[in-house]
């Protein structure tokens, strides 16, 4: 079945982002009701338009990973998610990225999903020093553009 590799890639991207967030600065933290530190990660992807289902699949994978972490009583932190829709478009990518950057609690981002939106968004993430992990942007040139916080 083809869904397992996609879900695995999304879970891996979410896990990398969560690990980085857990090791990151205190700027993304708060406290949950049980005294655990709350870490906010972002999701940027295509949540509207013709390719919406691709983004929703990824978003649901990230939500599932977050729910699993939050259900683990041994976890020293709780995760919270901030979402931003780029419509899968390079034109909307920078605005979607800026929304997550402006949320001062976001410490890392899963996404963008598409290569064009990634190329358009990553300069802002690099400038802000915000880690981003794309589970599906496949253009090999993305790794040669000097984005310092992109994986």
DSSP code string of 133-150: E-SS---GGGGGS--TTB
* Number of domains the chain contains: 1
Mean pLDDT for 134-151 is 92
Domain membership flag for residue 67 = yes
Give the range of the structural domain holding residue 27, as residue numbers without chain letter: 3-144
Domain membership flag for residue 129 = yes
Q: What is the CATH number of the domain that holds 116?
A: 3.40.50.2300
Rounded distance between C-alpha atoms, residue 66 and residue 64, angstroms = 5
User: Residue 32's pLDDT is what?
Assistant: 60
Task: Indicate yes or no: pTM above 0.95.
Answer: no
Domain membership flag for residue 150 = no
Rounded distance between C-alpha atoms, residue 139 and residue 131, angstroms = 18
Domain membership flag for residue 29 = yes
- The per-residue pLDDT for range 51-94, each reduced to its tens digit, is 999 999 999 999 999 999 999 999 999 999 999 999 999 999 99
């Amino acid at each position: 079945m083809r869904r397992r590799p996609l879900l695995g890639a999304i879970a891996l991207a979410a896990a990398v982002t969560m690990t980085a967030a857990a090791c990151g600065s205190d700027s993304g933290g708060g406290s949950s009701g049980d005294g655990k530190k709350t870490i906010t990660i972002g999701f940027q992807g295509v949540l509207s338009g013709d390719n919406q289902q691709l983004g929703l699949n990824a978003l649901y994978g990230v939500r599932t990973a977050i729910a699993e972490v939050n259900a683990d009583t041994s976890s020293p932190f709780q995760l919270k998610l901030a979402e931003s829709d780029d419509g899968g478009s390079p034109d909307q990518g920078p605005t979607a990225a800026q929304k997550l950057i402006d949320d001062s609690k976001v410490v890392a981002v899963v996404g963008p999903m598409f290569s064009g939106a990634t190329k358009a968004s990553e300069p802002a993430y690099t400038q802000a020093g915000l880690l981003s992990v794309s589970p599906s942007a496949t253009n090999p040139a993305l790794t040669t553009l000097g984005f310092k916080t992109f994986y």
